[in-house]
Amino acid sequence: EAGVTQSPTHLIKTRGQQVTLRCSPISGHTSVYWYQQALGLGLQFLLWYDEGEERNRGNFPPRFSGRQFPNYSSELNVNALELEDSALYLCASSLRTSGGGPLYFGPGTRLTVL
Amino acid sequence: SQKIEQNSEALNIQEGKTATLTCNYTNYSPAYLQWYRQDPGRGPVFLLLIRENEKEKRKERLKVTFDTTLKQSLFHITASQPADSATYLCALDRDSWGKLQFGAGTQVVVTP
């Protein structure tokens, strides 16, 4: 069974530009989560999508946005990039069950903002 | 929201010994707690989940305990191997709002 996939693997952008990151969940998983991990820091929750709807977002500015498609894949968009947006962006998927359960992470997209 | 504390100092341990990691949390007791392994530049990998009514969970050389009175979980790697070297993250409560909150992680270095 294929795991969570993310593209691209690496990305270099300059301040003020816009970027789109992509994620394909494990087959059968309807929930997709996005996390940001800046160098040396912990994982910060960004967004949760389920059944095509944004269900929750973390403490990030509105220039971080995304969407989930009917096939449950997802995009994360970041507008007006700032230097501090440089980080590993991780996508995870799970079954939408009450009571929690594990998240299955992709390999991440390394974004560098110059 | 929860505050999750993991040892920020790396744990250096000799091959064959048992590594013990601590995860402490504040505020409310989560319904369950999870442990993940993360290698540099890669996504975390799920290892174990323990629920609040479970005291202990085992998987191969891994053991997790959960003490809701102490608000603490211990993660043990027995008979450690150099391949166990990684950062280990504890995570709490994928609540109804979908948020699984992670600790900063503890790096484990196993030397031959």
Q: Which residues of B touch A42 (CB under 8 A)?
A: 89, 102-105
- Is the C-alpha dihedral spanning A105, A106, A107, A109 positive or negative? negative
Nearest CB among A55, A99, A106 relative to B97 is that of: A55
Q: With a cut of 70, say whether residue B96 has pLDDT above it.
A: no
**Model confidence over B42-64: pLDDT tens digits?**
999 999 999 888 989 999 999 99
Closest-CA residue of chain A to B107: A40
List the pLDDT tens digit at each of the 114 positions of chain A: 689 999 999 999 999 999 999 999 999 999 999 999 998 788 999 999 998 999 889 999 999 999 999 999 999 999 999 999 999 999 999 987 655 678 999 999 999 999
Q: With a cut of 80, say whether residue B84 has pLDDT above it.
A: yes
Report the run of H or E that residue A33 belongs to, with start and end: strand A31-37
Angle, CA B70 vertex, CA B68 and CA B74 arms, to 5°: 80
Would an 8 Å CB–CB cutoff place A54 in contact with chain B?
no
pLDDT, greater one: B29 or A84: A84
Nearest CB among B46, B101, B103 relative to A102 is that of: B46
- Per DSSP bridges, beta strands B106-111 and B11-14 are parallel
- Mean pLDDT for B11-30 is 92
Of all residues in chain B, the percent with pLDDT exceeding 70 is 95
Ranges A67-71, B66-70, B95-99, most confident: A67-71
Kindly state the tokens that stand for A47: 């967004």
